[in-house]
Each structure stands twice: as structure tokens, then as C-alpha cells.
Amino acid sequence: MAVTVGQLIGEAEYTTLKSGINLVMGTPTGTGTGAAGYNQALTAPAVNPGDKVTAAAWNALKTDADKAYTHQVGAAPNPVLATVNTDSSITKVIHDGIEAVVNFIKLDGNRFTLGAGQFTTVSARSATKTNWNGTQTHDVTYTWTSSTAANAFFNAGGKLTLTSTLSYTGGEAKTLDWQTMMDPGTITVNYVDVTKSGAGGTITNSSGYYDLAGEVEIMNRNGANPYSENRYKIFASAITNGVRIRMQYQDNDVGDQTGTGAAVDENVQGTLTSAMSYIRPTGSNVQVDAPIIATGATNTF
């Protein structure tokens, strides 16, 4: 709400600014790219029409704006938002400073971002396999205490990260191919998207948290000839108040004849590590609930 020099800035202007901050910091609403709300307790009080906006109320509004901005950017607003006292008035400059911050934090491109120092990376599950064959599945569920808590996690920039590595220093051909198959790097699931950090593999479905329903394959990496039957896949699905991730290693190769005699189906050697973590918004500005981690029914790790 634009104001002019000399205008009395009162309850209507205050409430408009408070509503913008509440959209970002308050109870989650909407879905997908239209979602908002970090489910945080706000300090700014409601002011009734006709009531005077006190210095304490305005400064509480400033505190809420500072927290939302710092959460997204990793630093306080610059220029610094002004603090008022009982002997000063709320000027156009003071009002417009908070208005600029509110307009910034409401933008779709900013609401879901996490500033430096505003999160904690937590290991959900990490498991290993050695000397294996066939299909191995790392099945893990992330469950929050309510849909509100789950939505707030992703609205505030929370993410799930998934990585696979194969530690091996020998010369066994199939194992070396599986080692190469780990090249998709880190797979990241956010509120509406799936991305990978490495050059290999394919994101086969980019459904993030808000797009998930039944299980979908989100990443696939094939082996190379003569092991092109092998697959490294990741699946994601929505569960009640959460997400289920299944990282699957399909050693479908049934053996290749390397000389005379029967074909040999070698085991995969070395140490396969399947690791799931999550990036949780934390700190004095915004802190959301952590998920409860459990093992799914198809887990073989």
C-alpha cells in the first residue's frame, strides 16, 4: 500500500504489511509454486481499525520482517529497517523500508529459498552393501506430525538429498561399471522439483513434494554394454504427512561368457553406500519441524 509524504500511517497500512509477512511466515496455505507459510509464531500483534499503532507493535512488525528476509537471504535487510520509539513518528521512509522487504519476501522466487547459515543438513539413513547381486532396495520414509508441518518444511526451503557411492579399487569389470553408474551425483527433491548434481543419469520425473501422489521413478541410470541391463533407479511417492524414497540398485545382468564354458554372473564387489539426508531450515529466524525417519517395507539394506 503506497503512502505519501505527510500521510498519517495507521492501522490500515500496518495491517497490510502484517498480512504480507503472515503469508510468508504464518500457517501454510496453497500448493506447489503457489504455496506459502513457514508455520512460525509471529511477534507483531493485530491492531484493530481506529486504534493507534504503538512503537512496540511497529518494532515487532520490523522483527518479523527481518527474520523472514534473513532466512531467505542469509543477511539482514540493507538498508537496515528503522526502529521507532514513543517520541518518533512512522514516516514514509520507515514505512517504505518495511514495504520493500515484504514485497521481496513474498515473491515466488524468494519464498522457497534458504540463505547461508539458515539450515542444518541431517543424515536420515545411510546404509552399505558388499559383495551383492540381484536387486537391492534402500527404502526410507520421512513423516511429519501433520500436513502443516510437512508443508512448512518444504515451503521454508527444506529439501531431501540422495547420494550413492561405490568404493572399489580392483579391476572387476562389472563392479567398475557400477562404480561409473553412481555419476548422477546428489539427487535433490524440493517443493516442486527434482535435480541432480552429476553428469550421468536422467531425471525421469521432476515431481517435487507437492506433485507426488503414487510412486514415480524420478531418476534412472543404465549400465554400459555388456552390463546395459543393470539399473540404478530412485523412486518417490507421497505418504500421509510425508514422502517415501526408494533407492534401487538392479543388478539384472545374468552373466556374460568371457571365454569357454558357462556365462559368469559376477557379484558387485567393493562397498556400496546409499545415503539419504535432508536439509532442514533451522535457527533463530525460522525453524521447522524435523521429519520422523523410518525404514520402508521393501528395504534390503
Assign 82 a pLDDT band (cuts: 50, 70, 90): very high
Mean pLDDT of 251-272: 80
pLDDT per residue as tens digits for the range 204-229: 999 999 999 999 999 999 999 999 99
**Alpha-carbon span 56 to 67, nearest angstrom:** 17
At 1 the pLDDT is 53
Residue 6's pLDDT band, with cuts at 50, 70 and 90, is: very low
What number is the average pLDDT over the span 184-195?
98
Average pLDDT in the 9-28 region? Answer: 93
pLDDT of residue 43: 96
The DSSP-derived string for the chain is ----TT----HHHHHHHHHHHHHHHSS-BS-GGG-B---PPP-SPP--TT----HHHHHHHHHHHHHHHHHHHSS--SSPPPP--TTS---HHHHHHHHHHHHHHHSHHHHT---TTSEEEEEEEEEEEEEE-EEEEEEEEEE-SSHHHHHHHHHTT-EEEEEEEEE--S--HHHHHHHHTTTT--EEE-SS-EEESSSSSEE-----GGG--S-EEEEEEEPPTTSTT-EEEEEEEEETTEEEEEEEEEE----B--SSSS-B-PPEEEEEEEEEEEEEE-SSS---PPPEEEE-TT---
The mean per-residue pLDDT over the stretch 37-57 comes to: 93
Does the pTM surpass 0.85? The reply is yes
